[in-house]
A = this chain, B = another copy of it.
């Protein structure tokens, strides 16, 4: 008998019918002899509908109230799933994040989990109930206000609960049936992976893969929780995320997959005076605006002009703000201009095998060159190579790299409606 945590995303819960299907799976898991804890996101369109209502009464709603509003969504879905479970012969109790002991910081809209003390969940399990916990929410340790956990919050809730309960596995259900060697919509012969290590999944998530959110993978790795990525539309086993690259024998280490990301933009600050502190000042201005930077490129300064260009990438969502903040300090730092380019894309190759196979970088760059793709910035980690290219060439680049490293499988990749989340 195992303790299983299952998380169902919004598209798996988008109607009364889907809710009943999800309840069937939960009841089957319970009847197989397992203790079952379920985390549900809000039903399909609920969060968007609530956001729309909020916008209608206040274009800039206070964050505390936004959290009170949005958490109604998970309350609705979890109690409905509990009811559906009862209709199918098992017993279930639903709990809010607060009731389930999810304690967080007080940053509304992006709270971090500080601790999980799920005594009411444990009690429910001991009494033979399925316990449902509203995802994406918790209670602030100091103010006792309700908080939401930011993007990927329901995945994080599920993994954090699994860690606190010492669960045997945390199953994340959506409309994709696992982690693939590349996005199946771009690469028709992308292959589903049976397993992926934590570090590789972290790199894939950070490089644009939307299957799992970075924070939940970090949490899983820290507490050693195995994650299974599965589809709520089939019984396929999915992909298991577990283990460390340290545990993989060198000779078995592989290249795992290709990720791509269209969400970044590029900023180039031109003609930066080449004196100590100019670059630091530029990055400090960006940091003070609470904007994260991804890739950085600094050219060698021209011996003629004594100036250089500094280029970096960031999320498109922060683009306008970053440009504004830099323009403010133009005179102070003395650079020439700020250029903004949002037609860039990032493609990444991830694999533990990179560490032990020299020539991966060479093969990577050759594949891109043969596909006519120009590399603007390159950035690597121990198990990842990322390059910034023109976004129009992203699909070609992904396919070229996938081909060059022979990642394709024989079966046609299965893509469900609404695939991606």
Contacts and interface: CB of A to CB of B under 8 A. Distances in A.
B69 A83 contact: yes
Contacts of A73: 72
A139 to B, nearest CB: 10
A182 interface: no
Given A64-B93, A144-B99, A57 B83 contact: yes
The winner among A58, A73, A120 for most chain B CB atoms within 10 A is: A58
A79 B82 CA distance: 25
How many copies of the chain does the oligomer comprise?
2
Contacts of A99: 144
Interface string A58-87: 111110111011011101101111111011
A120 B65 CA distance: 15
A20 interface: yes
A79 B69 CA distance: 6
Q: How large is the interface on A (under 10, 10 to 19, 20 to 34, 35 or more residues)?
A: 35 or more
A19 interface: yes
A16 B83 contact: no
A365 interface: no
Contact of A80 (B16, B20, B57, B64): B57
A59 B84 CA distance: 9
B68 A84 contact: no
A80 B86 contact: no
B83 A54 contact: yes
A69 B75 contact: yes
A367 interface: no
Nearest to A94: B68
A23 interface: yes
Interface in A192-251: none
Interface in A35-56: 50, 53-54, 56
Contacts of A16: 53, 56-57
B72 A75 contact: yes
A59 B61 CA distance: 37
B53 A65 contact: no
B53 A80 contact: yes
Interface in A244-302: none
A139 B135 CA distance: 21
Contacts of A71: 75
B84 A78 contact: no
Nearest to A16: B56
A78 B86 contact: no
Contact of A72 (B62, B76, B83, B84): B76
Contacts of A69: 75-76, 79-80, 83
B87 A78 contact: no
A89 to B, nearest CB: 11
Contacts of A80: 53-54, 57, 65, 69
B94 A79 contact: no
B59 A86 contact: no
Interface in A331-351: none
Contacts of A60: 87
Contacts of A79: 65-66, 68-69, 72
Contacts of A19: 57
Given A65-B79, A65-B94, A99-B144, A57 B84 contact: yes
A78 B146 CA distance: 14
Nearest to A73: B72
A33 to B, nearest CB: 23
A58 B76 contact: no
18 contacts: A23-B57, A53-B80, A54-B83, A57-B84, A57-B87, A58-B83, A58-B86, A61-B83, A65-B82, A65-B83, A66-B79, A66-B83, A68-B75, A69-B79, A71-B75, A72-B75, A75-B75, A99-B144
Given A57-B87, A72-B73, A72-B75, 7 more contacts: A53-B76, A57-B84, A59-B87, A62-B82, A65-B82, A65-B92, A68-B82
